[in-house]
Every structure is written in C-alpha cells, then in structure tokens.
C-alpha cells in the first residue's frame, strides 16, 4: 500500500511541475521529493531477475555529472551511446542484488526516457526460484541526503515493497 502511495506521489509531482504553466520552481530544484524506484521481478519463464530502476531524469543527470565530472544529457539522441556507458557504470556501482545467499550480477540492457523519468533496464543470468531477495540501493546518495528509494520485489506473483530512507541502503524480502 505504501508503495502505491509513493508511486502516486512521484507521478503527481511529475504532473504538477511539468504541466503547470506558472511554476516558479527553478530548473535545478524541479521537485521537492527526491525518490527513485527499483522494481525487481523474477521471471519464472526465463529463470531470470528483471530489474527496472526509475529515476527523475534531471536528478539522474546531476548525479552522473557529479560522479563522473562530465556534462550529461540523457535525452539527446546523439549523446545516447556515451550516456549508456555512464548509466551502466553508475547503476553497477549503486545497485546490487542477492538471490538467496548468492550475488545475482546484473547485466545492463539499456535505458529510455519516459516523460520526466529515466527507466534503466537490467537482468540477471538464470537463477533458481529465489526464496529471498536482498537489494543494496544507493542510487542518488551521492546527490541528496533526503533520498528515498522505493523497492518492489515480485516472485511467483507475490509483490512485496519497502522504502529506504537515506542513508539506509539494504532491504530484503522473503518469499
């Protein structure tokens, strides 16, 4: 239930701050809520974990710029290849998944922009049906001390969600 509320809040902020014609919010402070979501789902048909991280594009660009000291633009098509490398490196450093007691290394699939957010796609190699998933998430921790990370985990149709408030980084769910 809490996850639904936070996801709704994320979309409300997106709507209010991108549609409002008289918004007085500065570009660098486009929204007062610093949140990202990570959705970890076990695909029983493929035997893989599939992960989608959703991050406000402006925040993500700022985090990448700060981390790698380079100008970033996730939206420009001619910069997509260069940004792919930065996104891959950043996510690899800030998102780690364990299935059971074993690390589940993630392969970067790519990213796309969806309105005001970037969706980053990853997947694991084949694994057995996990009874426990643990996520270590530090996305945007290099940028905000009020960062909130919402983590959804789904196995065999059962979805469990939780939140990590900065500086917390680890969440686990049993299935």
Write the pLDDT tens digit of every residue in 23-39.
323 344 567 889 999 99
Q: Which residue has the higher pLDDT, 38 or 18?
A: 38
Please give the Cα distance from 154 to 134 (Å, whole number).
12
First to last CA, the chain: 18
Q: Domain limits of the chain? A: 2-11+36-174
Please give the Cα distance from 172 to 160 (Å, whole number).
10
What pLDDT does residue 30 have?
Answer: 60
What pLDDT does residue 169 have?
Answer: 98
Cβ burial of 168 (10 Å; 0-12, 13-18, 19+) is middle
């Amino acid at each position: 239930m809490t996850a639904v509320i936070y996801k709704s809040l994320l979309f409300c902020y997106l709507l209010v701050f991108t549609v409002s014609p008289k918004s007085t919010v500065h570009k660098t402070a486009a929204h007062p809520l610093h949140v990202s979501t990570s959705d970890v789902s076990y695909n029983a048909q493929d035997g893989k974990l599939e992960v989608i991280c959703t991050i406000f594009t402006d925040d993500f660009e700022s985090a990448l710029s700060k981390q790698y000291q380079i100008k970033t633009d996730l939206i420009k098509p001619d910069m997509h290849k260069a940004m792919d490398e930065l996104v891959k490196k950043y996510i690899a450093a800030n998102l780690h998944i364990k299935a059971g007691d074993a690390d589940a290394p993630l392969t970067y699939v790519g990213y796309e922009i969806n309105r005001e957010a970037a969706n980053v796609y990853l997947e694991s190699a084949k694994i057995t049906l996990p009874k426990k998933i643990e996520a270590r998430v530090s996305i945007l921790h290099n940028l905000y001390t009020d960062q909130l990370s919402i983590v959804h985990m789904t196995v065999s149709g059962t979805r469990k969600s939780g939140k990590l408030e900065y500086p917390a980084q680890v969440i686990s769910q049993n299935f």
